[in-house]
Structure 1
Amino acid sequence: MPVLKKVLLAIFAALLSAAPAIAAEITDVTGRKVEIELPAKRILLGEARQIHIAAALKGERVFDTIVGWRDDLVKKDPDSYAGYLERFPAIEKLPRFGYVPSGDFSLEAAIALKPDIITLNLEAAEAAEESGFIDKAAAAGIAVIFLDFRVDPAANSEKSVAILGRLFGAEATAKEFIGWRRAQIAIVTERLAKAGDITRPKVFIERSPGITGEVACCRTFGPANFGEMVEMAGGHNIGSDVITATFGDLNPEQLVVANPDHVIVTGSNWSAESDLNQFVAVGRGADPAAARERLKGLMQRPAFSSLDAVKSGAVHAVWHQFYGAPYEFVPIQQFAKWFHPALFADLDPERTFREFHEKFLPVTYRPGYFVSLSDGGE
């Protein structure tokens, strides 16, 4: 019986793969309407970190239709790349591309792969338009689709997941993904709403310190992205008081005057491109002791030494790549636990992320996405 079942499943899979594509229209996050055949048979990911979503939609078969991708996963998120390489060794030979706004994306090499679709992030839209990239791709029969998980995730993350669901022929899984994500965020937001008038701690979240140049201060987030996650978790993002864009800068004096109750820095393994190597390497399988030492070092900068958060040990690091994938439910849960430990004593963000891996992803979970100075008895 098991043999017969395997044969039937193989026949069913073959029939699915042989099913004709259906002409359809997709509206991307820029509002462009694109005529394509779905599901796409050959997809080029203009940002490889979109694999975090694609893999949740397609699981073990995620690379069946991916013919190339940008080189950013290897450079900016090598720990995640290692996890996918371990599970899918053939991706080492998958063609890699540069970044459209930097002018180092070879459209000629992309055309040679004959993709149906090139997916790009919203940040690349202006450069793609001005350079004629979209028109040149269209002339070669390639549709360009813009997605967004960074600039305005509240408006575009779910829409982008749904688009990828259609491109990969995984609409049902996309809906399940979106529903699961909403439910995990609601654990925090609904409990905060029921708690009523709570005190919101002041939070400064610093974007990728220690990656390049001098150890300066203070690149941060406005009301979107990590700034919004802080607010949803019951904190007050001090960056939103002065910055209206997704990203911006505070000067050290503004930080000292604000005197936040919590400091959070974003970090990742940027060893492939950092000229400073003082970043906090958190992420899949990261060493918490090493990350904590880096975090402690960053707090020795002049602007930080007098802050109440540093004195009390309320200093944390979060995996930077959460800012570009619709996995916001994980940092929102962790932030809530940091900001309101009594209210969220039963919440286990690590267990949440492990369950997500087991339910959706083809790679195994390994901890290391967060660290706090207080964890080391500071």
Structure 2
Amino acid sequence: MNTLLNRMKLTFLRSGVRVLVLLLTTASVWAGEIQRITDLAGREVSLPAKVNRIILGESRYIPALAILDEQPISKIVGMLADFKQTDPGSYRQYRSKFPEIDGIPQIGHTSADSFSVEQVLTLNADVAIFGLEGHGPTARHAHVIRQLERAGVAIVFVDFRRDPLTNTPKSMTLLGKVMGREQQAAEFNTFYQAQLQRVYDGLAQRKQQHADSSPSVFIHSRVGLQDLCCETMVKGMMASFANSVEANNVAQAIVPGAAGVMNMEYLLTIQPDVYIATAIGSTDTWRAADLNPAVDNIPPYIVLGAGVSEDVARLSFQNALSAANSRGVRQLRAVKEGKAFAIWHHFYNTPMNVVAVQAFAKWLYPETFSSLDPQATMAELFERFQPVPLEGTYWISLDTQATETTSFARHARVGVKQGAMQ
């Protein structure tokens, strides 16, 4: 009897050990399936270690995802329509490479108000990627966050807009963790920081050689969109680019908030040293048949970006400054002296912003940065980190004699990301 009892105890003990081992193993597996990260809103977020289904609060984040993954479309199950509607040239490039992009469900148009929580809840997403600020839901949309998290959708906030030069590397690191592409994120950040450091080194050198004050600049935002002149950026976005190169943004002293409108009469009084316009136009708003400046129905937008030729870019710039709502700009001394430039508006919300910083530096300090080549930086960025070719014009001077113009024609090879490791 004792022998039988001992055997039963031993069997029970062994069974208990097996159960305990099984429980510990299962717990270990569960723990391995979850990763915990801190996003750009300072929130601790738990999400699957392997993310397979992604919602984009702004579809313009697709090029950022493409820096990390040569198949950036494959995991997106829903997105706002802002990429297609606000940057149709770039969208067409991605559609040519990834036709399936047209089949991704649109969960809204170009605003947070249009974002459909109900539709998102049908898509079985693992994670939603939102921006601290922008067109889609932000950290201020508590009701959206609450509903999605209750349904098991993790929410991660990134930022290329509010504090772009500080938060771009942080956001890429975060996206690398979300997508399981940490090595690729680290490689891009190395490239990014090196290109930014070239600007900082030039500024330090200038300080040693010059005691004069910083040049003043006026950033004329979204030229042609408003009936009144002149919309501008004061904090974040492209204002950060001006601050990073130690320029005096003339709007900062008088315009409250992140953006606002400056009076043309005031601009004519203070006369900024450099004029920089941002271009929201595309080939969709500017047709080849409409190149005659005498045509009254030409949209007053500056056209830059993918698929835009240098001729169209410059003509659109000239015409935009001839439109009724911007005509006074031509009286600025900077414009008359050939210090007027236009830049692709969407640099303000992308990891490619480092190229815009280099362009700003070259425009504001042409002697200091005579050897800096933003064109080469842009070409390298596309060749190493983008799956689509670099074709188009992304910045331009108003003066046809100036050299600060760039037009790319297949500088990057499709599908080649030399530095990206899988």
Native 8 Å contact 1:265 1:318 kept in 2: yes
Alignment partner, residue 190 of structure 1: 201
The one-character-per-residue Cα deviations of 1:195-221 (angstroms, maximum 9, x if unpaired) are: 22355321111110113x42x211111
Q: Give me the TM-score of the superposition, normalised by structure 1.
A: 0.87
Letter in 1 for 2:214: R
Alignment partner, residue 218 of structure 2: 204
Secondary structure, in 3 states, of the residue corresponding to 2:305? coil
Alignment partner, residue 358 of structure 1: 383
Alignment partner, residue 225 of structure 1: 237
Secondary structure, in 3 states, of the residue corresponding to 2:392? coil
**Distance (whole Å) between structure 2 residues aligned to residue 234 and residue 146 of structure 1:** 29
**Distance (whole Å) between structure 1 residues aligned to residue 306 and residue 283 of structure 2:** 14
Secondary structure, in 3 states, of the residue corresponding to 1:29? coil
State, as a whole percentage, how many aligned pairs show the same letter: 32
**Which consecutive residues of structure 2, in runs of 5 or more, have no partner in the other structure?**
1-30, 287-296, 404-422
Native 8 Å contact 1:204 1:263 kept in 2: yes
- 1:128 corresponds to which of 136, 141, 144: 141
- 2:250 corresponds to which of 238, 243, 252: 238
Secondary structure, in 3 states, of the residue corresponding to 1:351? helix
The one-character-per-residue Cα deviations of 1:83-131 (angstroms, maximum 9, x if unpaired) are: 11111111111111215854222222212211101111212325521xx
Native 8 Å contact 2:283 2:308 kept in 1: no
Residue 95 of structure 1 pairs with residue 105 of structure 2: yes
Alignment partner, residue 83 of structure 2: 73
The one-character-per-residue Cα deviations of 1:325-358 (angstroms, maximum 9, x if unpaired) are: 1222111111222222222222221111111111
Q: Compute the displacement of 1:81 (Å).
A: 0.6
Letter in 2 for 1:354: A
Secondary structure, in 3 states, of the residue corresponding to 1:265? strand
**Distance (whole Å) between structure 2 residues aligned to residue 138 and residue 73 of structure 1:** 25
Residue 329 of structure 1 pairs with residue 365 of structure 2: no
Alignment partner, residue 56 of structure 1: 67
**Distance (whole Å) between structure 1 residues aligned to residue 342 and residue 110 of structure 2:** 30
Native 8 Å contact 1:21 1:40 kept in 2: no
Q: Compute the displacement of 1:158 (Å).
A: 2.1
**Which consecutive residues of structure 1, in runs of 5 or more, have no partner in the other structure?**
1-19
Native 8 Å contact 1:227 1:240 kept in 2: no
The within-5 A match list for 1:175-324 is 175-196=186-207, 197=210, 199-211=213-225, 213-214=226-227, 216-243=228-255, 245-269=257-281, 277-300=299-322, 301-324=326-349
- More helix, by proportion: 1
**Distance (whole Å) between structure 1 residues aligned to residue 79 and residue 319 of structure 2:** 35
The alpha-carbon distance between structure 1 residues 170 and 353, as it changes in their structure 2 partners (threshold 3 A), is same
**Distance (whole Å) between structure 2 residues aligned to residue 375 and residue 241 of structure 1:** 32
Residue 115 of structure 1 pairs with residue 140 of structure 2: no
The one-character-per-residue Cα deviations of 1:150-173 (angstroms, maximum 9, x if unpaired) are: 122244322221111111111111
Larger relative contact order (C-alpha < 8 A, sep ≥ 6)? 1
Secondary structure, in 3 states, of the residue corresponding to 2:217? strand
Letter in 1 for 2:318: K
Alignment partner, residue 13 of structure 1: none
Letter in 2 for 1:250: M
**Distance (whole Å) between structure 1 residues aligned to residue 38 and residue 285 of structure 2:** 35
The one-character-per-residue Cα deviations of 1:220-279 (angstroms, maximum 9, x if unpaired) are: 111432112123235322122223532222222221222012111111335769998311
The one-character-per-residue Cα deviations of 1:42-82 (angstroms, maximum 9, x if unpaired) are: 11111001112110011x22222221221000000111111
Native 8 Å contact 1:330 1:353 kept in 2: yes
Alignment partner, residue 346 of structure 1: 371
Secondary structure, in 3 states, of the residue corresponding to 1:368? strand
Native 8 Å contact 1:100 1:127 kept in 2: no
The alpha-carbon distance between structure 1 residues 377 and 180, as it changes in their structure 2 partners (threshold 3 A), is closer
Name whichever of 289-298 and 75-84 sits farther off: 289-298
Name whichever of 295-304 and 44-53 sits farther off: 295-304
Native 8 Å contact 2:272 2:334 kept in 1: yes
**Distance (whole Å) between structure 2 residues aligned to residue 313 and residue 100 of structure 1:** 36
Q: Give me the TM-score of the superposition, normalised by structure 2.
A: 0.78
**Distance (whole Å) between structure 2 residues aligned to residue 296 and residue 302 of structure 1:** 10
Alignment partner, residue 93 of structure 2: 83
Q: How many residues align structurally?
A: 355
